[in-house]
């Protein structure tokens, strides 16, 4: 099967990335639109953001799959020709990088742990692209911000570079306006 189109969307927090991505998926005309959600509701602010995203999609026929880690687990839940929106890379990265934090052994401190998760992510994205007619991936642009976690920034930069290289199109959202960066 030929690869489906891959569109990468990045931008600042609350810049309109998700709404723009949703429009692209709905406009694709796929039989089924799948929202692949990586966010976890650990606090009131995140619960409110998740609820707002769910409300925005309600009544529009979206199939939502919650997958905060291990993206490969979503593959059996997809159908050939789906349009998939993965929101978002930054939530997934935080979930994976700090998995095990509660026990004092986050992946970030285990030799080779994140490297393995990186390989698995690449395999999952490639397979998602094989299955979906359209794969839209959303990520926050935090590389310009003051972030104290250099490891997080290094991994996010590496992931963004790889995704943009694979993407047919890449957009940066700023204040609700989409700027084409590739394609």
**Residues known to be catalytic:** 53
Alpha-carbon span 76 to 114, nearest angstrom = 24
Alpha-carbon span 60 to 41, nearest angstrom = 23
For residue 79, report the phi and psi dihedrals to the nearest 5 degrees.
-115, 150
Asked if residues 71 and 125 have their Cβ atoms less than 8 Å apart, the reply is yes
Q: List, as residue ranges, the binding site for GTP.
A: 11-18, 37-39, 66, 87
Alpha-carbon span 83 to 165, nearest angstrom = 20
Strand partners, 65: 36
């Amino acid at each position: 099967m030929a690869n489906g189109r891959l569109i990468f969307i990045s931008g600042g927090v609350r810049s309109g990335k998700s709404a723009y991505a949703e429009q692209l998926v709905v406009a694709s005309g796929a039989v089924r639109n799948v929202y692949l959600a990586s966010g976890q509701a650990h606090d009131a602010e995140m619960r409110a953001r998740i609820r707002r995203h769910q409300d925005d999609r309600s009544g529009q026929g979206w199939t939502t799959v919650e997958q905060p880690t291990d993206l490969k687990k979503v593959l059996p839940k997809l159908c050939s020709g789906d349009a998939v929106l993965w929101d978002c890379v930054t939530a997934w990265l935080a979930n994976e990088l700090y998995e095990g934090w509660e026990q004092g052994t986050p992946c970030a401190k285990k030799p080779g742990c994140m490297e393995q998760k990186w390989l698995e992510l690449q395999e999952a994205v490639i397979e998602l692209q094989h299955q979906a007619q359209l794969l839209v991936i959303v990520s926050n642009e935090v590389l310009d911000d003051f972030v104290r976690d250099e490891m997080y920034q290094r991994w996010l930069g590496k992931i963004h570079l790889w995704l943009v290289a694979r993407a047919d199109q890449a957009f940066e959202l700023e204040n609700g306006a989409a700027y084409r960066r590739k394609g």
